[in-house]
Structure 1
Amino acid sequence: MLRTRLRNRVATLLAASALFVGTSVTLGASNAAAADWTFEKSAVSSDGSFTISAYYQGTYAGLMEWRGDPRDGDPGDAFRVVDRLSDGYGLEASMISPATGRVATTRGHSAVYYSPWNTGDLKEDTTVYIQLCAVKGEFFSCSIAYSGHA
């Protein structure tokens, strides 16, 4: 019991450290599989919008797109994911903060697939943290939680 609690606390500490240090978090996979995925954040635009690109073995696999304000008919305070690579993996983005439980995913869909926009009104200039993960069954390899704003 004590050993389990200690192991859980260490896992929580490592995951939290990864969010703040800028590394990726991978659970449920070997280190070799985790090394196949890399993530890159774009610059944040004046309205708070940004993207996180995902690369599988160096090949562009897709992205998460956050829109701080409505643009070109797309909603504001919204995000979606795009899976562009037919590799058996999906992409899943989660809003880490504010803790809304919002998720956008391509799980169960063939590439090329755009998830629906996940929307919800946020107070203007609210900082958002979104994390992008490559997913396949129980495997996931995730970026750090990157920030933009509403």
Structure 2
Amino acid sequence: MNLDSSVVGLSGEVFIFDVEFRHIHQFADAIGDANPLYTDKEYAKNSKYGSIIAPPTFSVAFSGEGAELPINLDERRMLHGEQEFIYYRPIQLGDRLYCQRKISDLYEKEGKSGKMQFLVVDTEIKDEGGQMVAVNRMNIIYRGEKS
């Protein structure tokens, strides 16, 4: 295993994502969700949100963009473990989002084929005022090197 606790706390540069109608509409279409909150501007305007909002898993579509983490991982050893979305408010049409990836945890578990490391990567998503909008948390399983 070549990852150690020194990777916890590493972060990439902040990147900006401007939420446009086509982004939300295309994402809702791709996941097969016809909720009018995602596509009907008049309907959404009269909702408690006051405008179009994005589906709950929308942030996965842009959290892979932007600055990379300052860590060299062997992609052949990586598996997507789990995904979690922590929302403080819905993402809305017109939001300018400031996003930054951070390594928030690293731990090990014994698997059938040996030790595996679990790398927890958070993409923090804030609005223009610096308020937290959401955290997109991804758990990467980092398998041991084959002998």
Same fold (TM over 0.5): no
Please identify the structure whose Cα radius of gyration is greater: 2
Shorter-chain-normalised TM-score: which range?
under 0.3
Q: TM-score of the superposition, structure 2-length normalised?
A: 0.27
